[in-house]
Every structure is written in C-alpha cells, then in structure tokens.
Structure 1
Amino acid sequence: MGDHRERGAVTASRLRERFVSVLTTLVRWVGTLAAVLLVAHVVLTVGGANPDNGITRFVAAWADPLALGFRDLFTPTDANLGVLVNHGLAALFWLVASALVSRLIRRGAP
C-alpha cells in the first residue's frame, strides 16, 4: 500500500515538472515569435518593402502592438532609423523578458 502512494507522488511530481516545462517553453516561444515579427518589420521597412503588400501589412499590423512603449522611444529624423532602433529594442525586450519569466517560472516551481 505504501508503494502505491509513492508511485502516486512520483506521478504527481512528474506531471508538475511536465507542466512547468511546457509552460516555460510556451513563454519562450511567445517571446521569440514576438521578436521575429518585430525584426521582420524592421527588415521590411528598412529594406523598402511595398507598404501596400499583404505580407508587409500583416507584419506591420502585428509588430506595432508588440513594440509596446518602444514604438516612439527615439524619434530620429530618418524614419527608417527610428523603426530600426525602436522595434529592434522591442525585439530585444521580448527575448529578455521571456527568458526571465521562463526562469522565474522554473525557480518558483516546487
């Protein structure tokens, strides 16, 4: 009977570990996806992509809200430089923030 309880505890422990692993992976993927969209927006903008193209509009529609408060942090006279710096910083923020949140989740898990 004691053996049954130990197996149940091991199973619950493994389930908790698996949940934490999936959650931290999800957090990292969300941060990476946000960074990729922001970098794609920078590349399309600085590269002079057609702003009326569907791909360009799609990326811009997702990148703008993901830029958070970085969107107009710096206002250089060259608009392309502004996109490069501001959206680039936002991409770095998403990567760092998702890594930190992932680490906090792992440390907080029993």
Structure 2
Amino acid sequence: MSEDVADPARTSGRSGHRRRASFDVARLWTRTSGALTTVVRWVCSLAAALLAAHVVLTVGGANPENSLTRFVADWSGTLAFGFRDLFLKPEQPKLEVLLNYGLAAICWLLASVLVVRLLRAFGAASR
C-alpha cells in the first residue's frame, strides 16, 4: 500500500487536514481521580505511620528530648485531632498513648480506604 493514502480516522473531508482531537472530560476525570487516590493514600499512610511511630517511641521509652522524638510527637499531636485525650489514664501514660494515638492511626487508615473508594466510584461513574 502507498504511504500517501490518508488515514480516514485522522483526517477531515479535505485531504491533508487533520481533525482536532476532542476534549474528553471523562478521561480527564479518570486521570484526575487516579492521581487524587494516590495522593490520599500517601498522605493518610504517612499520617498513620507518624502516629504509629509516636506510639512505638513512647511505649519503647525513647528519650523525649531527642529531636526525632520531638518531631514525631509534635506532628502526632497535630494529626491525632480529637483522639489525643479520648482515653485518660494518668497512672498509665504509655497505655494512654497507645490507645489514643493508635486509634487515631487506625482512623487515618480507614479514612484512606473510604476516600479512595469514593474517588474510584466517581471515576468509574464518569466513564
């Protein structure tokens, strides 16, 4: 076959002119929701990892004056939201940290699963 023959799918009625590709909103939303699901997973996983690290460092007896321990504790305090003082056991501070921050980490992971499922459902609905 000759290479001079125009592909009918890529040209309009006039020879040599290409048709403009149409803007596909569904494809854009599918890509955007895919990117959003990745970002949500990373953010929620990072939050849960920081909370779990705080639990491990506290229960393990890490030096509270260490810069890494302070960094993790500061961020964990921010990420724990209302869970910081959910359980109050002043006689057992390690158990308090385990319950409060451990529950916050689990909630971050559950939130990740729910938001990712919603984004996927909306992405699939637009197809």
TM-score bracket for the superposition, by shorter chain length: 0.7 to 0.9
Q: Which runs of 5+ in 1 are unaligned?
A: none
Q: Secondary structure at the match of 1:75?
A: coil
One of 32, 46, 54 as aligned partner of 2:45: 32
Q: Which has the higher contact order (CA 8 A, sep 6+)?
A: 1
Separation in 2, partners of 1:87, 1:28: 19
Q: Does 1:71 align with 2:81?
A: no
| Match of residue 22 from structure 2 | 8
- % identical equivalent positions: 56
Separation in 1, partners of 2:81, 2:26: 37
Moved >4 Å (runs of 4+): none
* Root mean square deviation of aligned Cα: 1.7
Separation in 2, partners of 1:13, 1:33: 30
Q: Does 1:88 align with 2:95?
A: no
**Normalising by structure 1, what TM-score?**
0.88
**Structure with max Cα Rg:** 2
**Normalising by structure 2, what TM-score?**
0.77
Aligned residues: 107
Q: Which runs of 5+ in 2 are unaligned?
A: 1-11, 13-17
- Which structure shows the higher helix fraction? 1
Deviations 1:25-81 (A, max 9, x none): 101111100000000000000000000000000000100011111111111230000
| Match of residue 46 from structure 1 | 59
